[in-house]
Structure 1
């Protein structure tokens, strides 16, 4: 008996011992509903360690033996499962994408963990081509390997060199697809992660979409070289099995830090919210409200099966040099799952997803995931959002609210998950804030996109002797502490706090992952202190002044949803499934702070919610009506004359005229402003 035959008989016994029920199910479902039997590598190892070693080192030969053994398996019913695949998964070692393309891995079976960056369209691929001689009609079968179609050298009938015609219906075909797998963004050491191209066939196609996290089992192959190719070879992976991740944080070690997490959440180490504030961007002094908001954003609210958004979106807008980008960099470093992108030169594909021209395989178009899809289950950090092209901005609207990205182009019709919190930063429309204009009016993002943000914080560079002295002292102390740490010198407790987070990064990442996976907080049903408090306070915000019926409506119901999301995140910090009055109060404080920063009318110094909703204060709206009335009455006048009539500065009137021009209500001609 040959060695191969002995191996097949041994594998038949393996199937009898370990997979009788699974094979019975395959027999009932084959081939329409199921084409493969998934086999855990651990089972093979327990059955025979030598077989397991051969499987890893000689996968092509051993997989052929597995499938041959499966076809010889005695079934209780007369069913032929010949042609069924055996797919091995769960190898003892899982490689990152950057570890795959090594010469020692060529031809071996590997487990690779990564994120799907791009997938091609599905196309038929020929496996065995049947050619018909046009001279004598003799047919010749040619097994196909590589990328190029191989024809017969000569006809086996008339022994002439063709010509030949491919007999499509008699040839053996399989559906195939290409995918590009990348190193997950949060596991890269800056910049874009390495990628590897993967070839999938038969029932492995369409097992995942761009943005999915997967563990893929496959064989590393070298691509067939061209005649003039260099000694360096490109590699691809021939996929054998694909397992999509069930959890968003499978690679985070939670068990090791479970005791520390419980101690922090219960308050044994101090106020957990203060610890979180001290753990986010410790080198940056001040802005405690922003730090608390970002902490709650990382923990997130509870998403109800994709029907109700649980993620909070935050916008940091401010003068250059105020440290906005440092918050984004800190979150990108701390969050268990994150992406970082810049608005400069961004495209819709770079931010959401798009059908793009392929640069691998023979397909014409592929589906490529952008930052919001790649950060699914985590946080996307988008710097310089004010520089994002308008077309890319419009693609963000649906992605931020419904948390799905829809792509319909070039025959591709796909919906991808973008269950992502967005932390964005940018500058005012004129580069720096104008103290004489409402800040909301200086946000050049459009009201639709602005309404997607739960919180907006304005970071301005306003000189203040006392606070500036504190900031400078903190900067000097942090820089000195970093130098002493680099030189191996001992740090004082104050120096340590200036550069080290209160909660170490590895523990905080595990803390966030555990809370998001295990804790599902919500407001209690029926009469409860938290629910009643939220209703009362939200009505106060919404009605603003119950005695003044003309008072503008300060907030919409979007803010109520924002408060609930933040309150749920606050409960998650304590690992509590019930939202309390304290959680609601913490969320309300942040929402009020955000609204005040955006909605202060610089002309009155008071909060005007119209600024939040329309980027135009009530005083502006009233004055612009007067300006328009004067222009219409005079049928043409100058800015200077209008300013004198209403006793207002020319700069302010000129801004009002520009707003009226933008709305098409007036135009300028020969130095005069005229009604349209």
Structure 2
């Protein structure tokens, strides 16, 4: 089993420097460094020769050469017959071997900016290669940073020879709430803290309080316990917004990505495959045409949330691929005898448009979308935001939008923000709201009374 550490312990316990993927530089060559990242691809475990034995075909002398990574090294001269031009026979039975696995690490999802990613390849040997590290896991890698020459080029490839790999806890809630403790306590002491939370979620979007309340629940999620029968109860909440174009569905998705501890946005359009959402076992050049396991968007966000836009554009194969992850929080894949199980405790907020482009309140949501019925059943909450047509509502939205844009622009150029912008300025900043939600996730609430449980049961 892989050792698990809490993210907050990482900086204190691991060798310095502690870097993110992509931050390694030439000055770190030859050093043992710590790199935090997410495993997005891993090879199968294969034998690697560490000391290769070669037999001279002329005199029978046996010469052993230690091997690194890359092409196999042969002796330059035979000490037995003292010839340089020697035909060597590789003796597998006399060589020394170890287990080998190759990983590809990528930046943690919460560290990515503008969708740009950095990656690095890591070599695991011996016991490390047998620890069962799976794609999607977030790790702290302790490794020696070595240059690996490709042919005769003066530009070398990066090689990271792992000394240890610490698997971080599934929950990425490493947000340090202590600097915000005063704000958290002030909000929590209110008669109804939900009001200020709702006002601070997607503040650029006016109205739809019920969706904002649901979004808060999705962000807080649950520390799901294990039942007496050993079954893990699902803690993540899945929500589907099926509504008119321009009704603000994207506002809520962007708020989720901004506030969740680990998140990203994906799309169900034609460019997204089932493997891109879940996982894939493929043969590629990553490990010399051996099978590799690649994590998709859902396992990458395990412990956090995924905004899946345009779900109605996804094909049946892509939709069916979501079923297992949303139901059980894992992804099982199998191909050509290769099996893998990836953690996928990811809350999903999906958005889609009705088939005819306009939601009809007289018909059920299931009748107005090509999202498969089994997949609809996986969503705990389904909301249908509609385009506002009431003149007063339209005017209020227009006022809210223009005031928000004006306030943002004035703030950028250091001009006074008018009092009329107070309505669009949230009471809590994004960081303060993230801190409150992180503090809420630490709680393990129980029913206060049988009456409370009965009320929920009846509902």
TM-score, with structure 1 as normaliser: 0.63
CA spacing shift, 1:329–1:209, aligned 2, 3 Å: same
Q: Secondary structure at the match of 1:99?
A: coil
Count of matched residue positions in the alignment of Structure 1 and Structure 2: 445
Out of 283, 288, 312, which is 2:204 matched to?
283
Q: CA deviation at 1:164?
A: 2.0
Aligned to 1:111: 34
The answer for the alignment partner of 1:128 in structure 2 is 51
Question: Which whole-Å deviations, capped at 9, do the CAs of 1:322-374 have from their partners, x for residues lacking one?
Answer: 22112111210111111211112111221111213334242522111111111
Give the match for residue 220 of structure 1.
145
In structure 1, how many angstroms separate the alpha carbons of the residues matched to 2:92 and 2:426?
65
Match of 2:79 among 148, 151, 156: 156
* SS across alignment from 2:92: coil
Aligned to 2:98: 174
Match in the other structure for 1:440:
366
- Matched with 1:46 is none
The 10-residue stretch of structure 1 (115-124 or 270-279) with the greater mean CA deviation from structure 2: 270-279
- The separation in 2 between residues aligned to 1:372 and 1:452, in whole angstroms, is 15
Mapping for residues 237-316 of structure 1, pairs under 5 Å: 237-246=160-169, 248-249=171-172, 251-267=174-190, 271-305=192-226, 307-316=232-241
Deviation of the 1:156 alpha carbon: 2.6
Report the CA distance between 1:291 and its aligned residue. Answer: 0.8
Instruction: Give, in whole Å, the separation in 1 of the partners of 2:438 and 2:289.
Output: 38
1:406 deviates by 0.3
| Pair 1:395-2:306 in alignment | no
8 Å CA contact retained: 1:120, 1:358? no
| 1:572-628 CA-partner distances (Å, limit 9, x unpaired) | xxxxxxxxxxxxxxxxxxxxxxxxxxxxxxxxxxxxxxxxxxxxxxxxxxxxxxxxx
Residue number among 98, 106, 118 corresponding to 2:22 in the alignment? 98
Alignment match, 1:486: 412
Q: Equivalents in 1 of 2:234, 2:50: separation in Å?
A: 46
Q: What is the CA-CA distance between 1:435 and the residue it aligns to? A: 6.0
Gaps of 5+ in 1: 1-32, 37-41, 43-87, 539-676
Alignment of 1:430-509 (within 5 A): 430-434=356-360, 437-498=363-424, 500-509=425-434
Match of 1:329 among 235, 254, 279: 254
CA shift, 1:494, in A, is 4.2
In structure 1, C-alpha distance between the alignment counterparts of 2:95 and 2:287, rounded to whole Å = 21
Q: Give the match for residue 420 of structure 1.
A: 346
Shift of 1:436: 6.2
CA gap of 1:222–1:494, structure 2 versus 1, over 3 A, is farther
**Structure 1: distance between partners of 2:112 and 2:17:** 20
Once the two structures are TM-superposed, the CA of residue 461 in structure 1 deviates from its matched residue by 1.8
- Which residue number corresponds to residue 583 of structure 1? none
Q: Which runs of 5+ in 2 are unaligned?
A: 4-8
Residue 117 to residue 465, structure 1, CA distance change in 2 (3 Å): same
Query: Does residue 1:142 correspond to 2:65, yes or no?
Result: yes
Aligned residue number for residue 211 of structure 1: 136
For the aligned residue pairs, the C-alpha RMSD in angstroms reads: 2.4
CA distance in 2, matches of 1:492, 1:359: 59
C-alpha distance in 2 between matches for 1:393 and 1:280: 29
Among candidates 263, 267, 280, match of residue 354 of structure 1: 280
Moved over 4 A (4+): 434-437
**Is this contact kept in 1: 2:282–2:291, CA < 8 A?**
yes
| C-alpha distance in structure 1 between counterparts of 2:134 and 2:166, whole Å | 12
Larger Rg: 1 or 2? 1
Contact 1:184 1:193 in 2 (8 A): no
Residue 241 and residue 502 in structure 1: after superposition, are their counterparts in 2 closer, same or farther (change >3 A)?
same
1:528 aligns with 2:450: yes
- Residue 205 to residue 89, structure 1, CA distance change in 2 (3 Å): farther
Change (3 A) 1:258 1:436: closer
Q: Alpha carbons of 1:245 and 1:423: their partners in 2 closer, same or farther (altered >3 Å)?
A: same
| Residues 284 and 291, structure 2, Cα contact 8 Å, conserved in 1 | yes
For residue 376 of structure 1, what is the aligned residue in structure 2? 302
| Mean CA deviation greater in 477-486 or 185-194 | 185-194
Change (3 A) 1:222 1:361: farther
TM-score (normalizing by structure 2):
0.91
For the residues of structure 2 that align with 1:278 and 1:408, how far apart are their CA atoms? 46
Q: Name the one with the larger helix percent.
A: 1
SS of the aligned residue for 2:384 comes to strand
